[in-house]
Amino acid sequence: MFNLLKTAVLMAAITGLFMAIGSLLGGQQGMMIALIIALGMNFFSYWYSDKLVLKMYNAREVDETTAPQFYRMVRELAQRAELPMPRVYIIEENAPNAFATGRNPQNAAVAATTGIMRVLTERELRGVMAHELAHVRHRDILISTISATMAGAISMLANFAMFFGGRDSEGRPVNPIVSIAVMILAPLAASLIQMAISRAREFEADRGGAEISGDPQALASALEKIHRYARGIPMEAAERHPETAQMMIMNPLSGGGLRGLFSTHPSTEERVARLMAMARGAVAP
């Protein structure tokens, strides 16, 4: 419940940020233009993002004939979650990872790399796929699309400020120092809020996945193992398309300083601690 409330607060924050910046830099007209452009871009992403990302990763669709054990595992978990059967994909990739995509439960797909299928036990893999189905059940693709829409609109407003200068609601020029500050800081703030939303949704998917599988310890063990292996195996497709990082069960991107602040995922240690608290029947920290 806390993470659901946190997501709602963050969504309100990014919406409020958009409204404030739009009013400051472009007045009502500039704000509406930016929103319409961003909505158009994300409308396409919302309807076709699943096909695009699966193509980016050269994902191969499988069924009960081509991958019987894996397919049956997903089907059993989908039934436990009371979800329609998603399309199932395998990615020929050494880096251990998995993701879910699709605009709603009726048009969902789940994918796992061959790397994750090699390094995890069946019990651990089951926990991972339950996590991905929790994303489907929570309609996280919709939430991430909305947050991306607002972040994109804020960036566009900042670009308007760079090229045309800021205008207040009455059409008067804004102080150029204020315009420059907003141009630099607004997209950064929007990105930080968007990443915070992603981290909150990961906690909820961990909780939901543990409930679907009935085995929080298995998911905790899987996360620890993925974290160890993923650090030494680069995921080239993710490096080429960093915008897809938030979809993965574990952040696939290499990073340096300030990694925690700009990460799309919570720390593995905190995720594991919360899952182990669930396993003990305690209240998660």
Query: Is residue 129 within 8 Å of residue 161, measured between CB atoms?
Result: no
Residues 6+ apart with CB under 8 A from 153: 18, 22, 34, 35, 37, 38, 39
Flag whether 202 is marked binding. Answer: yes
Catalytic status, residue 92: no
Structure tokens, 143: 């939430």
Flag whether 76 is marked binding. Answer: no
Structure tokens, 212: 């679907």
Q: How far is CA 157 from the centre of its chain?
A: 24
Backbone dihedral angles phi then psi of residue 234, each to the nearest 5 degrees: -70, 145
Query: Is residue 133 within 8 Å of residue 196, measured between CB atoms?
Result: no
Query: Is residue 195 within 8 Å of residue 263, measured between CB atoms?
Result: yes
Q: Which of 82, 132, 204, 224 is catalytic?
A: 132
Residues assigned a catalytic role: 132
- Known binding residues are 131, 135, 202
- Known binding residues for Zn(2+) are 131, 135, 202
